[in-house]
Amino acid sequence: MAITCARDVHSVPPIHASSLSSRETPTAKTARTSDIVESVDSASFVSAPSSIVPSPLRTSVDDRSEVDSEAARYPPRSITFELPPVDRGRGAWQYLIASFFIEATIWGTPNSYGVFLAAYLDRPIAKSAGATTLLPLVGVLSSGLMYLLSPLIFAYINRFPGHRKRLSWSGAIICASSLVISSFAKSAFQLVLTQGASYAIGGALIYYVNIASLSEWWVAKRGMANGIVFAGTAAGGLILPFVLNALIDRFGLERALQSLGVFTGLALACLLPLTRNRVPLSKATGAPHATYGFASFPVRNKALWIYFLANLLNSMAYFIPALWLPAFASALGLPASDGTAALAAINAAAVVSRIGLGFLSDRKSPHIIGGLTAMSSAAAILLIWGIASVTFAWLLVFAIAFGALAGGYTSLWAASIREVAKDDAQATVLIYGIFSLTRGIGDVLVAPITAALFQSGTHISGRIGLGVDPGYASIILFAGGVMALGSFVEVLGLYVQRKQRKEQ
């Protein structure tokens, strides 16, 4: 695609009336080339209108020569900008690969917080005020708050697209410094502020600014691209826990946090320059054409709201095994390493699932895929975890099955958004923001709800997973029920969507 901008710097000065015969007085103008304003859609651009500014009044008869010389410049000269191709080429793949590693870097730390929590509980900081409540909250904040901030950040970059780069670099500095500063924390509350809230803010600035460019580089294969990027989250959760365990064992918790902070800063410094925008950003930030994008949001689309609910339910059910599987392994009498291995198996299977489901969503309805995988995940929770998982082998089978079935759900977002937003760039990022928001709500709700269920308990006897402990029985039944409900809601959304299309 090429963009042609007229560069008309023509200025015709007025001539004094006494020097005119049959010639009319020309109108003085100065046309200014406007900045190219970004539209996230890969195929469309908008140019802001030129401003009309009167030239200073001149009275010299010699100005006629300027009129003739300037008139010779018509038609206006043009500058052509060649954009890189979409769905292929070096630029598209460079963005995709760099985004995969950015995702792994940003989300790997929150997904590995269980390693930090175990280390904190063995240190004096566990005896600080409110530590029992606040230490688990650090992990919830570092991931949940990152999700919850998405609509605000997307609205901001819609309004001020030229601020993207400085937001990304600010986020990188905040992330790295938060981890380093948290190594000096003396209380659980200080960890909540640094490793929890501060890290989440920095990570959100990087992540959502970067993901907003995905629809510029990838159009027809957007589902596949989305799946590859999201696979980075699972890859980070797969590798980083083992690295952190080794660092803590060898150098101690404080040095491990400082090393992770330095690595995070260096990695992001290398990766961020590789994720440049395909469409040049407007330098005229805050220009009248730029809006927050709320007017583009399809508020009256009933099917979309049903899909948000399905996403919330699916997210709640997905985070439950990730939170409770290590403790469940301990209840079976298995060593802590087996619980860590089960979590790693979920993330390993999720890497494959996110790429595979993203690829599939470019060809089939994402809601049919989502409904089928959610129902299969519910069966895996109730049958494999709830009945068969009384040995490490069956626990590993469950982890792999669950990661493969439920782990790729987020890769369906891109295809779901494309069905509703079409080529509306602002609507695309805002809908993505609501999907992230509802996932974050699910993430935050899981801990208090399942903690209450664990305390209440459901007594089931027998040598089955549900019989290991009354608390785990309640949690397993809740997770399976919520995932099954999410499957039903997904199918309901598909029915409403098709009904809406017939009525149009």
pLDDT digits 0-9 by tens, 179-191: 999 999 999 999 9
The neighbour count for residue 89, using CB atoms within 10 Å, is 12
pLDDT at 292: 57
| Mean pLDDT value of segment 217-244 | 89
How confident is the model at residue 312, as a pLDDT? 96
Q: CB atoms < 10 A from the CB of 219, how many?
A: 17
Mean of the per-residue pLDDT values of the chain: 81
Least confident piece of the model among 193-202, 282-291, 336-345, 402-411: 282-291
Task: Please report the pLDDT score of residue 283 as a whole number.
Answer: 45
Judge residue 439's burial from the number of C-beta atoms within 10 Å of its C-beta, 0-12 exposed, 13-18 middle, 19 or more buried.
buried
What pLDDT sits at residue 3? 45
Name 178's Cβ contacts closer than 8 Å, sequence gap at least 6.
194, 195, 198, 199, 202, 261
Range list of H helices, 112-198: 113-121, 131-148, 150-159, 164-182, 188-191
Whether residue 17 is predicted with pLDDT greater than 50 in this model: the reply is no
* For residues 105-110, average pLDDT: 93
The two three-digit tokens of residue 478, written as one number: 């809740």
The reported pLDDT for the residue numbered 345 is 92
In sequence order, what are the beta bridge partners of 3?
81
Q: Give the largest CA-CA distance in the chain.
A: 110
Nearest to 403 by CA among 326, 351, 355, 340: 351
Asked whether the predicted pLDDT for residue 62 surpasses 60, the reply is no
* Mean predicted confidence (pLDDT) in 409-437: 86
Please tell me the chain's helix, strand, coil percentages from 3-state DSSP, rounded to the nearest 5: 70, 5, 25
pLDDT computed for residue 293 by the predictor? 58
The pLDDT, as a whole number, for residue 40 is 38
Q: Give the residue with greater pLDDT, 331 vs 51.
A: 331
Q: To the nearest 10°, the Cα dihedral for 461, 463, 465, 471? A: 40
Top-confidence range, 198-212, 321-335, 418-432: 198-212
Mean pLDDT along residues 102-121: 89
- In CATH terms, is domain 84-281 a member of 1.20.1250.20? yes
Q: How confident is the model at residue 78 (pLDDT cuts 50, 70, 90)?
A: low
What is the average per-residue pLDDT within 159-181?
93
The more confident residue out of 379 and 158 is 379
pLDDT above 70 covers a percentage of the chain that reads 80
Does residue 45 carry a pLDDT above 60? no
d(CA 369, CA 411): 11
Q: How would residue 281 be classed by pLDDT, with cut points 50, 70 and 90?
A: low
Q: How far apart, in Å, do the first and last CA atoms of the chain sit? A: 33
pLDDT higher than threshold 60 for residue 279: yes
Where in the chain do CATH 1.20.1250.20 domains reside?
Answer: 84-281, 290-503
Calculate what percentage of the chain has a pLDDT beyond 90.
43
Is the pLDDT at 303 greater than 90? The verdict is no
d(CA 175, CA 458) in angstroms, rounded, equals 41
Between residues 216 and 382, the one the model is more confident about? 382
pLDDT at 158 over 50: yes
Question: Per-residue pLDDT for 454 more than 60?
Answer: yes
Residue 374 and residue 406 in contact, taking contact as beta carbons nearer than 8 Å: yes
Q: Which residue has the tokens 């940003």?
A: 106
Q: What is the dihedral of CA 389, 391, 393, 397, to 10 degrees?
A: 10
Q: Is the pTM of this model over 0.95?
A: no
CA-wise closest residue to 295 among 496, 155, 162: 155
Which pLDDT score is estimated for 282? 53
Enter the CATH code of domain 290-503: 1.20.1250.20
Return d(Cα 237, Cα 351) in angstroms, integer.
10
Spatial contact of 236 and 105, defined as CB atoms under 8 Å apart:
yes
Position 193 pLDDT exceeds 90: yes
Q: In the structure encoding, which two tokens stand for residue 351, read together?
A: 């890497």
Predicted pLDDT of residue 25 = 43
State yes or no: pLDDT of 196 exceeds 90: yes
Q: Which two tokens stand for residue 419?
A: 């069905």
For residues 450 and 320, give the distance between their C-alpha atoms in angstroms, rounded to a whole number.
Answer: 8
Residue 43 has pLDDT above 80, yes or no: no
Q: Which two tokens stand for residue 431?
A: 């809908």
Query: What are the angstrom distances between the C-alpha of 240 and each of 226, 330, 347, 383, 504?
Result: 22, 21, 11, 30, 49
What's the confidence (pLDDT) of residue 295? 60
Q: What is the pLDDT of residue 81?
A: 62
Q: How far apart are CA 108 and CA 275, in angstroms?
A: 19
Grouping H, G, I as helix, E, B as strand and the rest as coil, residue 42 is coil
Reference 14, options 48, 60, 45; nearest CA is: 60
In terms of Cα–Cα distance, which of 228, 217, 214 is closest to 361? 228
Which residues contact residue 156 at a Cβ distance below 8 angstroms, ignoring those fewer than 6 apart? 163, 167, 292
Burial class (CB in 10 A: 0-12, 13-18, 19+), 462: exposed
Structure confidence at residue 32 (pLDDT): 38
pLDDT of 51 reads 38
Find, among 217, 271, 247, 233, the residue nearest to 85 by Cα: 217
Residues 502, 191: Cα–Cα separation, whole Å = 53
Mean pLDDT for 117-122 is: 86
- Residue 342: φ, ψ to 5°: -65, -45
Lowest mean per-residue pLDDT among 19-28, 195-204, 410-419: 19-28
Q: What letter would DSSP give residue 383?
A: I
Range scoring the smallest mean pLDDT among 53-57, 200-204, 216-220, 497-501: 53-57
pLDDT at position 451, please?
Answer: 84
If you average pLDDT over residues 408-426, what whole number do you get?
A: 85
